[in-house]
Amino acid sequence: SFCDVRPGLSFGYRTASLPQVIGERVTKARYLRAEVSRIERERLEEAVRLEGARVEALDALGRLVHEFKLKEQARRDDTVLSEAVAHSQALVFKVAKLRDELRKDTYDRNTVPALNAVRNILCEEASRAIAETE
Residue 78 exposed, middle or buried by CB count within 10 Å (0-12, 13-18, 19+): exposed
Per the domain annotation, does 123 fall within a domain? yes
Which pLDDT score is estimated for 36? 92
Q: Cβ–Cβ contacts within 10 Å for residue 32, how many? A: 10
Question: Is residue 115 helix, strand or coil?
Answer: helix
Which pLDDT score is estimated for 1? 45
User: Which residues fall within 8 angstroms of residue 2, CB to CB, at 6 or more apart?
Assistant: 13, 14
Per the domain annotation, does 9 fall within a domain? no
Which pLDDT score is estimated for 103? 87
Residue 98 exposed, middle or buried by CB count within 10 Å (0-12, 13-18, 19+): exposed
Which pLDDT score is estimated for 71? 81
Per the domain annotation, does 11 fall within a domain? no
Which pLDDT score is estimated for 65? 85
Query: How many domains, in total, are found in the chain?
Result: 1
Query: Which residues of the chain are modeled with pLDDT < 70?
Result: 1-16
Which pLDDT score is estimated for 43? 93
Per the domain annotation, does 61 fall within a domain? yes
Which pLDDT score is estimated for 70? 80
Per the domain annotation, does 35 fall within a domain? yes
- List the domain range (segments joined by +) for residue 73: 18-133
Which pLDDT score is estimated for 115? 86
Overall pTM > 0.85: no
Which pLDDT score is estimated for 16? 60
